[in-house]
Structure 1
Amino acid sequence: MSSVLRVELRDGIAVLTLNRPERLNAVGSETVDRLTQALHKVRHNDDVRALVVAGAGRAFSAGADLGEIESFTTPGQFRAFVGRLTEAYALLEDFPKPSVAAVHGFAFGGGLELALACDLRVAERGARLGLPEMKLGVLPGAGGTQRLPRLVPPAIAKQMILTGEPIGAERAHALGLVNELAAPGEALSAAEALAGTLAAGAPLALAAGKRLIDHGLGMGLETAIAYERETVSVLFSTEDRAEGLKAFRERRPGDFRGV
């Protein structure tokens, strides 16, 4: 795997680390390609039960690679770049295994959009999160204007997007944008601990739970509840469901196999 993205497997968790610290982990075409490749590879690895997305060096990510963007000479080139970026983030969002972003330093622009595509977010106290594209005369183009207002009140999303001003991790946590706060220097370990809790769950139920929440939000309540009923009925026939009940009766952790 290219050095711009490190992939490490630890105890059922795949840790994907943006690895351009000298560029504050700016997301360019090579990073997008490697992220896409890694997600496809990990998707088919049954030993991996959860993902952590992190950044090397001083920050999670400063956003899209402005140096690369400045080299574009036509709107079509920019559109193609944003398209690949959007597809990679959609692949992460729709991934059947739960994901956790480990944010430290700051997550700006395309970096925050990457964190928004994860299921959960852990951020160090003092970290900053923002979408500063307005200050460059543009707007977030990899899901920021759509995912952010689905996670925080629309008025807060408008303020962040239309002013370009970041917010601190503590406020992000109070708003529900960040799930857990970590001490300085502890974002990755806290994210791995949270991912470990997720990885201990039944894989089929984890994937189904993600689908129910993500897809159900776009349905009417009655339709969504019917979707839930059918999904849990399918899970009832799995070996993991039988193992879960047996483990509960025996007062031990379940040994889930994804079948």
Structure 2
Amino acid sequence: MDNSLKYIIYEKKNNIAIITVNRPEVLNAINNQLLSELDYTVNVAEEDDDIRAIIITGSGEKAFMAGGDIAAMKEMSLMEGERFVYAGHTFLNKLENSRKTVIAALNGYTLGGGLEIALACDLRVADENVQLGLPEVTIGLYPGWGGTQRLARLVGTGVAKQLVFTGERITANEAKQLGIVNKVVSSGQVLEESLALANRILKNSPIAVMQAKKAINNGIEISLEKALVLEAEAWLVNFATEDRVEGMRAFVDKEKPNYKGR
């Protein structure tokens, strides 16, 4: 682990990596350095075989991430903007396709690039006071880190267009009703609830969860007919594992399974 991290706090709790964005003085706004550190720490978690879930959250009570660092972006040349947008795409694709389960613990303003990062996670747990939105059009931009694509796939084009075109913010409960977040929790409980959710997932076969994630992520992009073939093939890969044998044995014997990820 790089001890020179400036904007990220990285912790391990048993089989869970907690990545905390720590730039609260600017509402955890994302600049090049912060993005690079996020990418690095996700790589660390990805390569650690002990880690089975990743939680991303923000420090302080005001923000998960309030979007890109506008002061820094205002000074970017076109070439610098190009590097920034593609670096974001590379990181978010890595996050979305991680072998681990990735949970966004939303604890404040979740705006712009912050919401786009959350959308690339598998699950989103939100503090009841969270505000979410893609306000880029209000400053002459539009979402460029997958916001126009992942949001539309999650909630449909009509809702996505309304949120993107207006730049308006919505509450955690509104986001829950739209299917943007999975769960809304009492103020101050978001990390605890995210850890509890991760631990529930960790009780299951890691290979089965990973194969299910692949089937969902890859299947949504293709026709149902092709997706069902993909699902069956992934199911057969999973059927050949020791974990599948152990899970079924434990069920029949009324015992807790001892999954080993094999």
| Fold-level similarity (TM above 0.5) | yes
Q: Which has the higher contact order (CA 8 A, sep 6+)?
A: 1
C-alpha deviation, 1:120, in angstroms = 0.5
The residue number in structure 2 matching 1:174 is 177
Q: Match for 1:111 among 110, 114, 118?
A: 114
The residue number in structure 2 matching 1:68 is 72
The residue number in structure 2 matching 1:230 is 233
The residue number in structure 1 matching 2:52 is 49
C-alpha deviation, 1:71, in angstroms = 2.2
- What residue identity is the alignment partner of 1:110? G
Give, in whole Å, the separation in 2 of the partners of 1:3 and 1:242: 45
1:156 aligns with 2:166: no
- What residue identity is the alignment partner of 2:252? R
Q: Match for 2:245 among 242, 247, 250?
A: 242
Deviation per CA, 1:91-143: give whole Å up to 9, x if none: 10110111110111210000001101100000011211000001001101111
- Listed as ranges, the gaps of 5+ residues in structure 2 are none
The residue number in structure 1 matching 2:92 is 89
C-alpha deviation, 1:77, in angstroms = 0.8
User: Percentage identity across aligned positions?
Assistant: 39
The residue number in structure 2 matching 1:217 is 220
TM-score (norm 1): 0.97
Name the Cα RMSD after superposition.
Answer: 1.1
Give, in whole Å, the separation in 1 of the partners of 2:94 and 2:258: 28
C-alpha deviation, 1:199, in angstroms = 1.9
- What residue identity is the alignment partner of 1:60? F
Q: Point out 4+ residue stretches in structure 1 off by more than 4 angstroms.
A: none
- Listed as ranges, the gaps of 5+ residues in structure 1 are none
Q: Match for 2:256 among 208, 231, 253?
A: 253
- What residue identity is the alignment partner of 1:69? M
Give, in whole Å, the separation in 2 of the partners of 1:204 and 1:28: 35
1:143 aligns with 2:124: no
Give, in whole Å, the separation in 2 of the partners of 1:142 and 1:161: 13
C-alpha deviation, 1:44, in angstroms = 1.7
TM-score (norm 2): 0.95
- What residue identity is the alignment partner of 1:52? I
Q: Secondary structure at the match of 2:145?
A: coil
Q: Secondary structure at the match of 2:80?
A: helix
